[in-house]
Amino acid sequence: MGTYIARRLAHAALTLLAVATILFVLFRLMPGDPTAQVISPALDGAAQARLKAAFGLDRPLWQQYLIYLANVATLEWGQSFTTFEPVARIVADRMVNTLLLMSAGLAMAIGFGGALGMLMAWRRGGPLDIGATLAALVFQAAPPFVTGILLLMVLSYNLDLLPSAGMLTPGSKLFGLWEIVTSADFLSHLVLPTAAITVYYLATPMLIMRDSMLEVMGSDYVEFARAKGLSPAVVMVRHAARNALLGIVTVASLLLGFAIGGQVVVETVFSWPGMGKLMVEAATRHDYPVAQATFFMLATLVVGLNLLTDLSYGWLDPRIRTGHAR
């Protein structure tokens, strides 16, 4: 188990180094003088030189790269080019907002999806199986902004049941994270974007669960459990569904990484101040420190989740841990 973990950790570290390097190069390959956005070409020449020095853009690229790598290693990202705040703080704030929304949306998608998938497999070919498959695929095929705008139109603009934008009502007096998260105001703002995410990501866990259930249901021990005379519900949940969960674990971690990247659209439609919006803003404003940090954090999250998945596989399935499955 020890070497298994060590090997996985080394893989992850190498991947992140590669990601960091690619990010550095990529942002400098973006069209336009990298300094043109940070430093307006309309400015006086001396002012431009002054700004370049302030942001370290006057140094040779290799020096900028080394400074950057040191920043990555220490997670000390320096200051934003546009807001002058410490990057770590900006990213942390936005990350919290994104995770709040994402975890709500994905928990719903995985929870509902898993439960639906289980029932669909159990009643394979029934009206639920067919109806839910169709609905989930339609929502998955519809871009989240379409679903999002539809939800907004009906529930917010027309029926005026829920707020249309942001995380809190403008002028809210709530500041502490716990205070915000537990407030009715926040929760009412959370409903619509969560719904948009839930229906968009519902199909994958649902269908995966359905398929693994079908596989498991044909196996001997399920037959045996039935033969023992256990109630169908117990067989379905304790014996079949528990073993079918492995597929969902993999999908859940992949989905989370994927969803944070795809968060941009949902956050834009619902004016949610999260990472997705931050990434787009930073990239378009050529705010390198913030852009690099956000993309790197995203990569770290995906790599980290994969690592966790690998390790949890070892826990869930002993054959992997002991190396028999190699």
Partner 1 sequence: MRRRTFLQSSSALAGTAMLGGLPGGAGAQTAGGVVEKRSLITATAQLDPARPEIARLIAQACQKIGFNCEANPMDYNQGIQKVVMEHDYEMFLVILAGSPIRIDPQVFIYGMHHSGEHRRGGFNWMGYANPKLDALAVQQEGMLDLEKRKAPVFEAQQMIYDDQPGTIVAYPQLPMAHRSDKVKGLVPQLGEGIGSFWSDIGMEPIGGDGYVVTGHNADVKHLNPISANDIFEFYEIGMIYDRLMRIGPDGKPTLWAAKSVTAADDKTIDVTIRSGMKWHDGKPVTAEDVKFTFDYHLAQKAPFFLAYLRNIEAVDVTGADSVRFRLTKPFAPILSTVLAGVFLIPKHVWERIPGGGVDDALKFANENPIGSGPFKFDHWRRGQELKVSANKEHFSPPKCAGNLRVVYGSHDAMAAALEKGECHRTRYAIGASHVDQLKGKPNIVAKGYPTHGFYHLAYNNKIAPFNNPAFRQALNLVIPRQQISELVLLGYAEPGASVISPANAFWHNPAVKAPAEDTKKARDILQKAGFTWDGQGKLKYPA
Contacts with partner 1 by CB under 8 A lie at 30-33, 36-37, 39-48, 50-51, 54-55, 79, 82-85, 90, 93-94, 97, 149, 152, 156-157, 160, 163-168, 170-171, 175, 267-274, 277-278, 281, 285-286
Read off φ and ψ for residue 325, nearest 5 degrees. -90, 0
In the complex, least distance from residue 99 CB atom to partner 1, rounded to whole angstroms: 15
User: Of 90 and 293, which CB lies nearer to partner 1 in the complex structure?
Assistant: 90
Residue whose CB is less far from partner 1, 241 or 278:
278
Q: Which is nearer to partner 1, 42 or 233 (CB)?
A: 42
How many angstroms separate the CA atoms of 22 and 265, rounded?
Answer: 24
* Closest CB 26 distance from partner 1, rounded Å: 15
Cα 208 from Cα 10, distance rounded (Å): 30
The smaller minimum CB distance to partner 1, of residues 239 and 286, is found at 286
Say how far apart CA 206 and CA 252 lie, in whole Å. Answer: 11
Q: Which residue has the tokens 């919290």?
A: 96
CB of residue 289 to partner 1, shortest distance in Å: 11
- Sorted by sequence, the CB contacts under 8 Å of residue 82 that are 6+ apart come out as 38, 282, 285, 287, 290
Taking the chain, what is the end-to-end CA distance rounded to the nearest angstrom? 13
Task: Report the C-alpha gap between 168 and 182 in whole angstroms.
Answer: 12
Contact 196, 276 (CB under 8 A): no
Q: Using the minimum distance from each CB to partner 1, give the nearer residue, 45 or 127.
A: 45
Q: Report, in Å, the least distance between residue 272 CB and partner 1.
A: 7
Shortest CB 52 distance to partner 1, Å: 11
Residue 31 class from Cβ within 10 Å (0-12 exposed, 13-18 middle, 19+ buried)?
Answer: exposed
Q: Provide the minimum distance between the beta carbon of 85 and partner 1 in the complex, in angstroms, as a whole number.
A: 5
| CB nearer to partner 1: pick between 54 and 135 | 54
